[in-house]
Amino acid sequence: QKEVEQNSGPLSVPEGAIASLNCTYSDRGSQSFFWYRQYSGKSPELIMFIYSNGDKEDGRFTAQLNKASQYVSLLIRDSQPSDSATYLCALNFGNEKLTFGTGTRLTIIP
């Protein structure tokens, strides 16, 4: 049984600062890791995926994966009010169901 743990928040970050979102998981066999953003009442939107240990950067977003510690994180630099949303961590073995965490609610304070 895969478990994905996230701090539910809310996490409040001033505009322009770095937001750091964390996720731990129980199944060492997990191969693929995803961060989805979900605005209230909307569907999950894929913003980052990472398959290998280390960092992966895409614009203002950086995903970090440490398989030994079973830990994946998302950093958002230069946080904007439009980044206010719930961020969902998800994982799978590839071409199979995603297991989601409960999400972390992020609020960017102008």
Partner 1 sequence: EPEVTQTPSHQVTQMGQEVILRCVPISNHLYFYWYRQILGQKVEFLVSFYNNEISEKSEIFDDQFSVERPDGSNFTLKIRSTKLEDSAMYFCASEEDEQYFGPGTRLTVT
Interface with partner 1 (CB under 8 A): 34, 36, 42-46, 49, 88, 90, 95-103
User: What separation in angstroms does the CA of 54 have from each of 75, 90, 101, 103?
Assistant: 13, 17, 21, 22
Pick between residue 29 and residue 110 the one whose CB is nearest to partner 1.
29
CB of 15 to partner 1, least distance (A): 27
Pick between residue 62 and residue 79 the one whose CB is nearest to partner 1.
62
CB of 104 to partner 1, least distance (A): 12
Pick between residue 63 and residue 79 the one whose CB is nearest to partner 1.
63
Helix (H) / strand (E) element for 76: namely strand 71-76
Compute the distance between CA of residue 27 and CA of residue 3 in angstroms, rounded to an integer.
7
CB of 17 to partner 1, least distance (A): 27
Dihedral over Cα of 109, 40, 6, 58: its sign: negative
Residue 81 three-state SS:
helix
Pick between residue 79 and residue 91 the one whose CB is nearest to partner 1.
91
